[in-house]
Amino acid sequence: MAKLLDDEGQDLLFREARSHGQWLSKEVADDVLRRIYELMKWGPTSGNCCPARFVFLRTKQAKERLRPLLMPMNVEKTMSAPLTAIVAYDLKFYDQIPRLFPHNPNMRDYFVDSRELTQSTAQRNSAMQGAYFILAARALGLDCGPMSGFDNAALDREFFPDGQFKSNFLCNLGYGAPEALFPRNPRLAFEEACTLL
Residue 5 within a domain: no
Domain coverage including residue 95: 19-177
d(C-alpha 2, C-alpha 122), whole Å: 28
Residue 29 within a domain: yes
Interhelix angle for 30-40 vs 115-139, to 10°?
A: 120
- The model carries a pTM of 0.95
d(C-alpha 166, C-alpha 157), whole Å: 9
For the domain that residue 117 is a member of, what is the CATH number? 3.40.109.10
pLDDT at 2 over 80: no
The sign one gets for the Cα dihedral 16, 18, 22, 23 is positive
Domain count along the chain: 1
Residue 197 within a domain: no
Residue 131 within a domain: yes
Q: What is the pLDDT of residues 41-88, one digit of tens each?
A: 999 999 999 999 999 999 999 999 999 999 999 999 999 999 999 999
Q: What is the pLDDT of residue 3?
A: 85
